[in-house]
Chain A
Amino acid sequence: GQNIDQPTEMTATEGAIVQINCTYQTSGFNGLFWYQQHAGEAPTFLSYNVLDGLEEKGRFSSFLSRSKGYSYLLLKELQMKDSASYLCAVYGQNFVFGPGTRLSVLP
């Protein structure tokens, strides 16, 4: 089976850096995804990792270690609009989403 864990909630301050961790156990591995979802809206694609290492996209970076079953999403220079849920998803035998991490950015 597949299992994905993320912290339920995190709080950070505007301008700071926050790291959201994701650990997973899957049957097969074809990629790991991060999505952002604002309340009442559909998820939006942030990043995709299939090889080990760090992928950087502006203020957002995503890291993957396949041997450890571990990924993180790094958000720099936090803004109020970054307050949202962040979903880790793994494509193994099928596509499975983690429970999501609700991030609150405080002024």
Chain B
Amino acid sequence: SAVISQKPSRDICQRGTSLTIQCQVDSQVTMMFWYRQQPGQSLTLIATANQGSEATYESGFVIDKFPISRPNLTFSTLTVSNMSPEDSSIYLCSVGTSGIETQYFGPGTRLLVL
């Protein structure tokens, strides 16, 4: 399995600001994903991070709010823009090491917006 790290592990932010979350993998992976998990709830896929092209967003998520970069096969960033308290959540990066069949999650970033 891949070793995945995320930065920051947690943060407390003010309303209206933006936060960029980094996801680093120790090996090249074909697929990288960003999820949100709100308190007490299951995971919701935000987008698939595509290397060298624009991310593919799920219904209800837009690029202006959650811009994503993926400059290479081991790194991606998710920005949460113009934050509001409703954005308080855990944000998780996951990778598919051999296609979608094996998907592993990073440790997550706990975000609290005041």
A and B: partners?
A: yes
> Which of A's residues lie within 8 Å of B, judged by CB?
30-31, 33, 41-45, 48, 50, 87, 89, 91, 94-100
Q: Within 8 Å CB of B103, what residues of A?
A: 33, 45, 95
User: Is B33 interfacial (CB-CB < 8 Å)?
Assistant: yes
Q: When the two chains form the complex, which single residue of A31, A44, A91, A97 contacts B44, counting CB atoms closer than 8 Å?
A: A97
Q: Within 8 Å CB of B33, what residues of A?
A: 95
Q: Number of residues in B with C-beta < 8 Å to the partner? A: 18
Specify which of A42, A87, A98 lies most central, judged by the most chain B CB atoms within 10 Å of its CB. A42
Q: Is the CB of B45 within 8 A of A87?
A: no
Q: Is the CB of B106 within 8 A of A42?
A: yes
Q: When the two chains form the complex, which single residue of A33, A45, A50, A98 contacts B42, counting CB atoms closer than 8 Å?
A: A98
Interface string of B83-109 (1 = CB under 8 A from A): 000000000100000001111111110
26 A-B residue pairs with CB within 8 Å: A30-B100, A31-B101, A42-B92, A42-B105, A42-B106, A42-B107, A43-B43, A43-B92, A43-B105, A44-B104, A45-B1, A45-B102, A45-B103, A45-B104, A48-B101, A48-B102, A50-B101, A87-B42, A87-B43, A94-B45, A94-B58, A95-B45, A97-B43, A97-B44, A97-B45, A100-B42
Which chain B residues (44-103) contact chain A, with CB distance < 8 Å?
44-45, 58, 92, 100-103
Which chain B residues (21-48) contact chain A, with CB distance < 8 Å?
33, 41-45
Once bound together, how far apart are the Cα atoms of A94 and B108, in whole Å? Answer: 21
Q: Within 8 Å CB of B100, what residues of A?
A: 30-31, 91, 95
Q: Is the CB of A96 within 8 A of B45?
A: yes
Q: Within 8 Å CB of B101, what residues of A?
A: 31, 48, 50
Once bound together, how far apart are the Cα atoms of A61 and B33, in whole Å? Answer: 26
The residue on A at minimum CB distance from B56 is A94
Q: Within 8 Å CB of A31, what residues of B?
A: 100-101
